[in-house]
Chain A
Amino acid sequence: QVQLVQSGAEVKKPGASVKVSCKASGYTFTGYYMHWVRQAPGQGLEWMGWINPNSGGTNYAQKFQGRVTMTRDTSISTAYMELSRLRSDDTAVYYCATAYYDILTGLQNWFDPWGQGTLVTVSS
């Protein structure tokens, strides 16, 4: 079955960077876009951007432009999200989630399935 397994929790100091991984299995990695969504403690969901694992192309929410980098390693079916210049308000659970892309019908506009989430805590 389709499964996304993310890396473990991280604790970082303000100003540092964090890189979260998301390993996919059970489907053709390059056939699905990978989205990243975060959720601050007790708050709602926030879309950060996506990467096309086939081409490496990316699309980031303007809020994160210049601080986020999404990459992938197709040899191990893994996507990465790196966030730099961390602040305390970046403390959140970061999720990866897939969306199918078809050359005829385009990108499916929903997220399924999701990884289990990675808690990133930013604290001095």
Chain B
Amino acid sequence: QSALTQPASVSGSPGQSITISCTGTSSDVGGYNYVSWYQQHPGKAPKLMIYDVSNRPSGVSNRFSGSKSGNTASLTISGLQAEDEADYYCSSYTSSSTLDYVFGTGTKVTVL
């Protein structure tokens, strides 16, 4: 079971929108609506931002949104702010026989 594929880095200016992709297979991202997204600042624990593809937990800014098409999920950050600079990871349930959950390779978001 390979990690889900994310771009290594994405950047944008304050106020802009950026989108991070997360590509898997029909055994994970494409097969289930169980994609979640996590934000991780340096030296900190990951924080849940999106669950079940497009649901936002209480307390998470509505500038964060999620979607999915086929085997690719996406996280969009609108109105980019300096505090959004962090690493972002997607995760999906998988029907693999070797593990239940797989994470993405991670994307470094830089606010220019």
Contacts and interface: CB of A to CB of B under 8 A. Distances in A.
Interface string A73-117: 000000000000000000000010100000000001111111111
B52 A110 contact: yes
Contacts of B105: 44
Contacts of A113: 45, 47-48
Given A44-B106, A45-B103, A46-B103, A110 B46 contact: no
Contacts of A116: 45
B82 to A, nearest CB: 23
Interface stretch (B10-18, B69-77, B90-98): B90-98
Contact of B36 (A37, A50, A109, A117): A109
A45 B52 CA distance: 19
B91 A45 contact: yes
A63 B91 contact: no
A110 B51 contact: yes
Nearest to A65: B98
B102 interface: yes
Interface residues of A, number: 24
A35 B86 CA distance: 23
Contacts of A35: 101
Interface in B3-51: 3, 32, 34, 36, 38, 45-48, 51
Interface residues of B, number: 25
B45 A111 contact: no
A35 B99 CA distance: 12
B104 A111 contact: no
A110 B90 CA distance: 10
A45 B46 contact: yes
Contacts of B100: 47, 49-50, 59, 61
A46 B1 CA distance: 11
A36 to B, nearest CB: 11
Interface of B: 3, 32, 34, 36, 38, 45-48, 51-52, 57, 89, 91, 93, 97-106
Interface of A: 35, 37, 44-47, 49-50, 59, 61-63, 95, 97, 108-117
29 contacts: A37-B103, A44-B3, A44-B104, A45-B46, A45-B106, A47-B91, A47-B99, A49-B100, A50-B100, A61-B98, A61-B100, A62-B97, A63-B98, A63-B99, A95-B45, A95-B46, A97-B46, A109-B32, A110-B34, A110-B91, A111-B36, A111-B91, A112-B51, A112-B57, A113-B47, A113-B48, A114-B45, A114-B47, A117-B45
